[in-house]
Amino acid sequence: MPEPVLISLAAALAARSVTGLYKLVKEKFSGDPEAAAALEAAEGAAEDSPEVRELATRLSAAEDEDPGFAERLRREWDQCGGVVNTISGTVSGKVVQARDVHGNISL
């Protein structure tokens, strides 16, 4: 199972919400027809879809094979404000998901 950040990254790619990130991955996958097909199949898919999970798996493999790509991918994700928040189990009460908080939060 790919790490959560790759699932979120794959979902952003599927939505084509981050142009630079999409271009980077499309270029990387251009020499691999199966990876390119996974990118195309994920387009417009929901974050929890099998297509997005497959794309995340392909991204994980690409990172393992090419540390330079992994570094560029993570840097691009960080620059676009990539955040991964995970909540599991039974939650009662209020939940706040945020990135950079300067000061207090009151609910």
Identify whether the C-beta of residue 25 lies closer than 8 Å to the C-beta of residue 77. no
Q: Which amino acid is at 96?
A: V
Q: What is the mean pLDDT of the chain?
A: 85
Instruction: Give the model's pLDDT for residue 24.
Output: 94
**Interatomic CA distance for residues 72 and 68, integer angstroms:** 6
Q: What type of residue sits at position 75? A: R
Give pLDDT tens digits for 49-66.
Answer: 999 999 999 999 999 999
What is d(CA 10, CA 80) in angstroms, rounded to the nearest whole number? 14
> CA–CA separation, 21 vs 74, rounded Å?
9
What is the pTM (predicted TM-score) of this model?
Answer: 0.71
CA angle 52, 58, 59 (to 5 degrees): 90
